[in-house]
Structure 1
Amino acid sequence: MTDNHQYETPAAGTLNWDGPLNRNFERIDTDAEIRDTDASRSNYVAKEGAKFLATDTGNVYLGEGGSWRQLGTIGSGSSGSGGSDTTSLLLSGYVVALGKTNTSPQSVDPAETDTPIQDALDIVNAAGGGEVRLPAGVIEETGPIRPYEETQLIGLGVEISKVSITDRDADGILFDRDSGVSRVRLDGFALNGPAGTGPTGVAIHHTNKDTQDLFVGRLLFWGWNNSVYRVDEGVGPFQCRHEQLTIYECDAGDQDGLFEFRSWYGPANWFGTIAAYPSANVSGQNTTVFFSRGGTQTVDYLTMGGSAGVAIDQTWDSVIEFGNVHWEPTSNPTNPPAIIRLRGHGTAVIDTVKHVTGVADYVYELGYDDYNGRGPGRKILGPYIELGAAADVTGGIVNLASPVDPAEPSLYQGSPDDVTVTHNEGSTGGFRALGTAGTGF
C-alpha cells in the first residue's frame, strides 16, 4: 500500500495485476482533483469525496450525495491578487464575500440559491465581519436580508446592481436581531420590491432593538407598495446617516408615510437628499412622504413629485429639521390639507418651502395632536416660495388650526397676512409672524 492514498502495490510475482490496478484507477478517479470551468461542472460525475476546482471562478466543490457542494473559493486567475480575484468573480456574476479572517474572497452563485446575499452575509459574519459586494445585473433574493454587526453591502451603482425581493410579504432589509446591530453600511444598489397590485413588505424596516451607526450611501427604491423606510414603535435607531435615497413607483397611500418614524425615541438621525416620486396606482391615494412621531431626524433636502401629498407630517414630540422642501406633485388624486403638517409640541425647523406644481389647501398647518393631547408648540416656519402658474394654495400660507402654547412659542418668517386662524379658541400670542417685526396670534 502507498503511504498517502493506500493504493495497492502487488507483491513481486503476483500474476493477476488487473484486479489491484483497476481498483487503484477507481480510487484515482475520485482522489485526483478535476479542473475545468465552472459551467462544465455538470459534465463530471460527483463521486463521493471527489474534488472539483473551477479554473475560471476559483470555486471549490466536493462530491456529496451525487451532486457538487461548494466548499468555498480560492479566487480565480493566476495573478494571486485578492483585488483581481474579486473583480473576476464580480464580472462573472457572483456575489462576493470578503470576510475579516478569510484568506481569499468567497463567492455565492445567485443561480444556485434563493438567498445569495444573505448567504454571503452569513459567510462574512462567520469570519468576524466584512463586506459583501454585488455584481452588475439583477440579483434575486427571497428576502428579507438581515445584516449583522460590522457588515457592509456594496453594489456597483444604483442603475447597475439591482436587488430584487421576490417574496411579496417579505421586507427588503430587516433590522431585527435581538442584540441590535451596529456599524452596517449599505451603498450603491437598487432595492426593488415585488411591485404588482398587492401590498408588499417594507424596503428597510427596523423592528427590534436599536440600530446604531448605520451608514446608507446612495440607494434607489422601486416597486414597494408600502413604506420604504420604517421604524417601529419601541425601536430607536440612532446616529444613522443616509446620504441619497431615491424612490420611484412606490405607493404608501394607505400608510402613515413613505418614511415612518413611529417610535418615541432615536436621536441624531440624518438624511442628505430624499427624492421621492411615489405613485397612487395601488391605493388610489396621495402618499405622505415623511411621517415622524418621535426621535430626532434632520433632512437637508426633501424633493418630491408624482403622487406626493403631505410632504412632512409631524406628531407628538419628534424633533425634526428640514432644509429645503421642494414640492412638485404631478398626479395627486386629491389636494392635501397642507404641504407640511406640524402637530404636537415637538420642535420643528423648516428652512424654506418651494412650490412648483400641484394644489394644496395650505402650505403649513399647525394643529392639535390627538396622539398625546397637546396643541402645537416650538415650530419655526421658513419662507414660502411659489414658482410657476401650476402651483396654488387655496386657503393661505399658514393655517393655525389650534392655539399655540405661549410657553413654547412658534415663529413664521413671513407676513401676518399669510396667517389664517381656523380655530375659535381665542388668541394666545404663542404664534408670531415676523414680517412686520412680530405680530402675535
Structure 2
Amino acid sequence: MTENHGYNTPAAGTTDWHVPLNENFEAFDADVEVRDTDANRTNYAPKSGAKFLATDTGRVYLGDGSAWSSLGSLSGDAAGGGGVTEALVKGNLVVLGRQLAAPETIDPASTDTPVQDGLDRLASNGGGTVRLPPTTVSEGGMISVPSNAAIFGFGPDVSKVAITPAGVDGVVFDEAGGVDHAQLDGFALNGPGPGVDSGVAIHHVNGDTQNLRIGRLVLWGWTNSVYRVDQGVGPFQCRHEEITVYDCDAGAEDGLFEFRSWYGPANWFGTIAAYPTADASGQNTTVFFTRGGTQTIDYLTMGGSAGTALHQTWDAQLRVESVHWEPTELRSTPDAIVRLLGHGVAQIGNVKHITGATRHVYELGYDAYNANAPAAKVLGPYFGLGGSLGAAVVNLAAAADAARPSFYWGMAADVDVTHGDGATGGLRALGEAGAAVG
C-alpha cells in the first residue's frame, strides 16, 4: 500500500493483477481533482471525498456521495469580487448554498427580513449556510429555519440578530415533517427589549425537530420563554453547547426553558447560564420546566430573578450534573430550588447554593395530572455555601413510591416529611446506608 492514499502495490509474482489495479482506478476517480466550469459540475458524480474545482469562478466543492458541497473560493467571488470576508466586514449577509454557483450577498438595508431571505435561498438550493456580519442585523419578523440550513456568526459579542416587532417569535422550527440537521452558532438573538411584549426566542412549533445543533448563543431582551417545545412536538437528538440568557423575563410562563410535550428523546444541553429579570412580570422565573421527553444538562447556573431552577413533572426524564443557584433579585422565596413531581426518572448530581433564600433545596411531590407519587429520583449532595435555607434540605411533600424508590445523598435528618399520607419508606437516605424515610 502507498503511504498517503493506500493504493495497491502488488508484490512480484502476485496473480490476478486486474483486481488491485481496478481498485486503484476506482480510488483515482475520487482522489483526482475534477476541473470544469461551475455550470458543468452536475455532469460529474460527487463521490465521497472527491474535489471539484470550477475553472471559471474559482469555487471549490467537495463530494459527499450525493451532492457537491461548496467549501469556498480560490478567488474573490462575492460582493463584487471582494470575497466572502470583505462582504461580511462591509455589513452584508453572505449565503453559501450547496447548489449556488457562487456566494450571494444580502444588504440588510435592502430588506426587512435579511436572515429569512437568506434561509429561503438555502431552502431552494439544497441547504447551506447564512453567514452573519460582525454587527447587528435587524429582522422584521420571525425566522423559520429549514432543514440542512445553518446560521453562523462571528460570536455573540459581535454578530447579533435583533427581532424588532413586539409579540413575535425569534427562531422557529415549523416544517410539517420536522426540521432535520439545522445549526445555529456564534451570534446573539435579541428580543424587542426588557419590558416589551415578545414571542419565544427559540420555538419548536411543528414536526419533530431532529439533529439540531446549537453552538454558542446569547439570548437577550425576551419577555417570554426563551426556549419552548410545544405540546405534540418531539425534538430528538438535539445538542445545545452553550446558551446564555440575559435580561429575559419568563415569570408569567412555566419556565425560561419549557418542554411542554410528553415525548422527545436524547436532547442534551452543555451549559445553560441564565440571568433573568423580573421587571415585566414582577415574579421569579423558573429556569427549566419539563413535562416529558429526555433532557440532559451538564451545567445549569443562574442569577438574577431565577427562582426554581428545575421543575419536572408528568413523564419527563431528566439528568442534571450540576446546579449553581446564585440569585440576586428574588421577588419571593421559592419553596424549593429543585421540584421533582411524579414518577419520571430524575438524577441531580449536586446543588450549590451561593446567595438568595429558599425554603428547601429539593421537593419530591405528587403529579396531579397523571396521579403519580414521586418515584425514581436521585438527589445529589447539597453544598450550602451562602444564602439562606429556611427548612430542611429535602421536602417530602407526598408519599414516595416504595416500588420505585428515590435516593438522597445525605442524612435522614435533612428530610422534612410534610405529607400526611402514611409512611412508605420510598425515599432512602444514603448517608445512613439507605435508611427509609417517610
What TM-score do the two structures reach when normalised by structure 1?
Answer: 0.81
Q: Is the 8 A contact 1:258 1:288 kept in 2?
A: yes
Which residue type is aligned with residue 438 of structure 1?
Answer: G
Runs of 4+ that moved beyond 3 A: 75-84
Matching residue of 2:127: 129
Matching residue of 1:414: 410
Matching residue of 1:103: 101
Cα deviation, 1:368-401, whole Å, max 9, x if unaligned, reads: 111211110000000000113xx11101100000
CA distance in 2, matches of 1:379, 1:346: 8
* Corresponding position: 1:436 with 2:429: no
Task: Give how far 1:198 is off.
Answer: 3.4
User: SS of 1:385's equivalent?
Assistant: strand
Q: Is the 8 A contact 1:276 1:304 kept in 2?
A: yes
Structure 1 residues 80 and 249: CA distance shift in structure 2, 3 A? closer
CA distance in 2, matches of 1:371, 1:83: 61
Structure 1 residues 383 and 77: CA distance shift in structure 2, 3 A? same
CA distance in 2, matches of 1:182, 1:379: 33
Task: Give how far 1:197 is off.
Answer: 2.2
1:15-26 matches, cutoff 5 A: none
**Which range moved further: 378-387 or 431-440?**
431-440
CA distance in 1, matches of 2:342, 2:430: 22
User: SS of 1:396's equivalent?
Assistant: coil
1:88-237 matches, cutoff 5 A: 88-237=86-235
Q: Is the 8 A contact 1:142 1:170 kept in 2?
A: no
Matching residue of 2:29: none
Task: Give how far 1:199 is off.
Answer: 2.2
User: SS of 1:182's equivalent?
Assistant: coil
CA distance in 1, matches of 2:408, 2:80: 58
Matching residue of 2:356: 358
Among 387, 391, 394, which residue is 2:390 paired with?
A: 394
Q: Which runs of 5+ in 1 are unaligned?
A: 1-74
Task: Give how far 1:143 is off.
Answer: 2.0
Q: Is the 8 A contact 2:257 2:287 kept in 1?
A: yes
Cα deviation, 1:257-313, whole Å, max 9, x if unaligned, reads: 000000000000000000000000000000000000000000000000000000000
CA distance in 1, matches of 2:287, 2:90: 39
Among 401, 405, 422, which residue is 2:401 paired with?
A: 405
CA distance in 1, matches of 2:74, 2:425: 73
CA distance in 2, matches of 1:378, 1:297: 16
Matching residue of 2:278: 280
Structure 1 residues 299 and 370: CA distance shift in structure 2, 3 A? same
* Corresponding position: 1:344 with 2:342: yes
**Which range moved further: 427-436 or 211-220?**
427-436
Task: Give how far 1:429 is off.
Answer: 1.1
Among 421, 427, 434, which residue is 1:425 paired with?
A: 421
CA distance in 2, matches of 1:260, 1:225: 14
Cα deviation, 1:190-225, whole Å, max 9, x if unaligned, reads: 000001423210000001110000000000000000
Task: Give how far 1:153 is off.
Answer: 0.3
Pairwise CA RMSD: 1.8
CA distance in 1, matches of 2:81, 2:263: 42
Structure 1 residues 154 and 384: CA distance shift in structure 2, 3 A? same
Q: Is the 8 A contact 2:77 2:103 kept in 1?
A: no
What TM-score do the two structures reach when normalised by structure 2?
Answer: 0.81
The structure number with the bigger radius of gyration is 1
CA distance in 2, matches of 1:212, 1:240: 6
Identity %: 57
Aligned length: 366
Structure 1 residues 98 and 320: CA distance shift in structure 2, 3 A? same
Matching residue of 2:319: 321
Matching residue of 2:64: none
Q: Is the 8 A contact 2:76 2:84 kept in 1?
A: no
Which residue type is aligned with residue 288 of structure 1?
Answer: T
